[in-house]
Structure 1
Amino acid sequence: MSLTEDERLNLLYEASILDTPPTTEFDAIVRLACSMFDMPMALISFVDEHRQWFKARQGFPLKEAPREHSFCGHVVETGAPLVVEDASKDSRFYANTFVTSSSVQFYAGVPLSEGKTCYGSFCVLDTKIRRFGDRDIEQLYSLASVVVALIREHRQQSLLKEQQRELQLKQARFEQTERSAKVGGFEMDLNTGAIIWSDQIYRTVGLPIGKHMTSEEVIACYAPEERESVRGRIRDILNGSGTGIDKEYRIITPEGQERWIRVVSDIEHLQGEPRRLFGIVQDVSEKVRYEQRLLQAANADPLTGLANRAAYNAHMQRLAAADVQSIGLLLIDVDRLKQVNDILGHATGDLLLKGVASRLDERLGRRGKVFRLGGDEFCVILEGPASAGRMRSLARHLIEYIGRPLEVGGSTINPMITLGGAISECEMDAATLSQNADFALYHAKETRRGSYVQYKPSLRSTIAHRIQVVREVELALNEHRMVPHYQPLVRCADGQVWAFEALARMQRPDGSILPAAQFHEAFTDSSVSHHITTRMLERVATDIRTWMDRGLDFGRVGLNVCASDFMRGDLESRIVAAFTSRGIPFDKLVLEVTETVFLQGLEDTVATTLQRLRKKGLAVALDDFGTGYASLTHLRSLPVDIIKIDKSFIDTMLEDESSLAIVELVLNLARKLKMKVTAEGVETHRQAMCLLEMGCSTLQGYLFSKPMGGEHIGGYLSALKPPFMGNSEPWQKGLHRLG
């Protein structure tokens, strides 16, 4: 059953978002929408009774507009997406303010709905006629879901502020009570039931001074869990079997305030009969709260305020005692904390941990309990039945949410976390569950940092295999069997070699050669990866010197470097040592880095290192471009000379329009940014000709050559002819047009 318009408006007003100031998060969404759909305008529109008000807008001058004849009003009324490709010809909207005042021709919007509530719409607009397919609508819905989450968070923040104001009011009342006496006297006539209280007891329990009290009204002052025992005590006293007490109780005032009292009482007997109950009531709330704070301090992490390892152990014991089935455990490691501490200082590292803890706590809510186990490790115990799918979904969400840029100590860091998870099975004890999750986390850190691994028994064999591969690579490094093979990069302008990419190969004792894909597990070990780069630098520099001495025109050589090379802080000194000692100019080297290198939380450090190297003459290539989530940002902020389009797009561009569109986009973007572009994985003449027509700078792939040993470079260069010259008229025409 759908909501009435009045009900919808009430829920919109309760969200407390209308006429609020602009916020970074909402503004970022409209900018992202414009970028994604190549649109000049995007709006987050909330529709009330008479108007549409824009919480965020990009490329649009108005802050609000009438609801009548509006696109967004139509979306709210129908609860369905709306696409208007030519508004000037649509009788519903030709009188719309957007059309008449802002020349809007195209509109596409989806509802901002939470449950049955539609707050407004999320839309993109253009001043020209556009087409908008089902895939575009799906992407627009995805962005709208982020907006709805921001609305929900805004509403929760408003509620939290209201609760904080209420808490401050109650605290002020308590401070007034603290300044007065905290002990009052009472008595009860056991014959008549009459009760006499001093003024202070009324103040303590929060009742009007002098109010007539019955025994049931006295009992009602106590907290619900205390009332039955108090009622039984009064009954025993009236029956003559009761005795005096000295005990603490929790009470709830009529205002809902929680307090603790100490009751000390005795019974007066006359002629052997109980006649009067008398005693004192002391407000011991401050003492109890102090004890609670001490207990909390013993069970809370002092840096982040989260529950600590002691609390984690106690919580697991409670779950075990309660025989809870299917417990889910996530172990979370904050990556690169040591590098942050070493480079930016421990104060910044502490701020990073606090930021991660805050995001974990605010995102998990009631879904689980968060603990800091120590150092860079956190954990989450999932409440309720756990499933592998639920844990994977939660882990992906946490990786994305925590990975947002974080301002700490004057630096911007993209926090990265790695997670391992396990689920209790049958009668699995807490220690086994913890071991399994720890095992999964270990595997994730060693092989897939920044991702999530779910425990399964086969992980044992996987890790054993990885250890074996790492040992083989370490042995190959010690025996100088790690060698570079070179694959040419061919200029589109003339079909000649522009550069070679050095690819790591491992030579087995029998002489056979293994490509990097067959020992890729070794690169996850930072020490081994660092050693491989050092060995490759030495071998590449030696080969370059040999080719220079032979007078070979080989251009440049591209060398892949990884995150560990930057984190060690010695990449520049290793390059300088290898090249200077052999008299090689630095402009012979291209450093190839993948986007994952920039996503380690130390983007500024990476950028600074690359900038210094570029000043020495090196070029920088962004490898596997298009496979990461923030590549465009990196092109804007990082020192990059060359873009290498990932092979996955080249493989499918002739059959898949989206891949072709991405390739065209990258080429146009690079042209405007004055960057070179290399297409990786070119294997067919059709691919090469298509890239040539689009203006690609250089090509690389099996069409020109597989990777070869350094000793074959001379023969390859001397025998090289453009592979499409001769009988291929299209190639010749393409060459003529380019040059």
Structure 2
Amino acid sequence: MSRGLTDMFEAPFSQFLAAGAKDTRGLARAGDAAERMRALAEYAILDTPTEPAFDAIVELAAQICGTKMSAISLVCDDRQWIKAGHGLSLSETPIEHSVCAHTIRGAGLFVVPDASQHPLFRDHPLVRGGGLLRFYAGVPILSRDGVPLGALCVVDDAARPQGLDAVQAHTLTVLGKQVEAQLELRRAILVQEARIERERRLSRKLDHAANHDGLTGLCNRSQLIRAFEQCVGAPLDYAHPPALVLIDVDNLKRVNDGFGHAAGDLVLTELANRLRETLGPDALAARIGGDEFAVMLRQCPSIVEAAEIAGTLLHAANLPFLHEGRNLNCRISLGYAAAQDADDFATLHRKADQALASAKAAGRGCARAFSSALARAYDSERDMLEQARAALAEGRILPFYQPKVDLETGQLVGHEALLRVVTREGDITLPGTIAAAFEDRELAIALTDRMIESVLCDLSDARARGIDVGHVAINTTSFDFATGDFADRLLARLALRGIAPSMIEVEVTETVALGSGRDHVRHALVELAEAGVRVSLDDFGTGYASLTNVKQLPISALKIDRSFVSGLGSETDDSIVAAMSMLGTRMGLQIVAEGIETAEHVAILRRLGVRYGQGFYFSRAVSSTHLTELAAISASGRWAEHAPLSPQ
């Protein structure tokens, strides 16, 4: 068209509405522009590209109404933006030029049959000068909440005194509703897309949480296993098998107890950061437990390369951790293993864990590699633990008794209860067959508990049969005292069976009495001694005990280790035994020699002042069924005339 409304909506239109700009601006803001802008934002439609659905509506509106131009315009706070236009080239106009701002003031069809006759526009120069805009008809477009957003309008440069006929007016109204329907469809799609995006974000968060450690952000065990399976499941992508490094933070509990859990968390997060900084892209770090980390090397050409990486990690992690201006020296131990062809993750983890256990046993703060020797040691330890559990469950842990004799009179003064394991075939085996069980806290306590119960049962039976067995010594471990209630439990058992505390002797080694748990041990021994239970220090002279240490414990007897007794006859060993005997006796302690095997041993020990002894010369450890026989031999006072009893 020649200089139609398209031209007028550009530069000339500001002149066209100059006279009515004030009124138009007021109309645009009468419906609360802020509320309209919030409603428009729900549809996210402003400044979007053209859409066929809206373009079709304006084209149909112009055709039905017989106008040269039509538009869907949205009224903003400072402009009128045209979403779809027919016969128009502009996309927006300033708000003061908006004719549609008048339309949204009403609730229905707004018609200007002849702008030259309209009170707002009749004096306008463009209307008087040529009537570029003569006819306008529009219907408001409302949001779902009834907020006016804009208008669907038709425009022409010729006046139409008759306006729109009924069909045209109804059609324009219906098409306006179609615009609203399209807007609602758009909003529904946006809501759905937003919901899907929220669900995607939530899914990503949940996936991250399910596969990562919350504190450090490292992968967790599940993700580590999946990464391993990916490596072994795609051998063509990896030239070498993976390797696994297990890391344990040494003394983290001490940091938590001494400086608070915030300090412990700092150590863990800082260690995670150091792992990230140290490792290359072909390695995956994970936190798999409270103070346990793991690193999977997706490709490991040799155990030598794994050793180099372990050394690098060890150096990085063992640097001090700074917390509130204070250095926390919290070191790590590492164990590593390379996967073999048939290894699954559990097998590889077991190998690395064996290596880690070796590093801890070596003093911590170091790295160890898995080896076949470690595997054999681990298998042996596992077998011992299984044997111990089975023997406990099946009642095959029994006390065997070795007599303790007065070397001057030849009289029986007591026994030492020695643990024996009865096999399912009935054979008697020594504690060495389950040695690993004594290093396991749970099993060690259970074994001592079983021994005490069996000894008390045998003592009750011997007393009922009138057999004088003297006192019985029971060996203990550091784990027994760590619970803090060992003395109370033992004394309660004695009271329950009516057994005098003096009939029981508790034996502790130097390692137990003077080790890291010495306070628990001392408190328990004091309580027992005050109740009348005897206390003896076993294997004296082989550890780091001194007579000063001995004085601090309520000990009634010292047991000289068999290693000194076996060397009797040599000047050195005789002197050592004589010194221990003299000092112990002056302190009021009984001196007991272990491992006596010959009459010559007895003679030398008597000459050196040792009053009591035990060993094969008198008898091997025997079952409770031989207690009567031992008592009879003691009554004769002639141990040397009897062959030592066998343990059967």
Q: Structure 2 length normalisation: TM-score?
A: 0.47
Pair member with larger Rg: 2
Q: Structure 1 length normalisation: TM-score?
A: 0.42
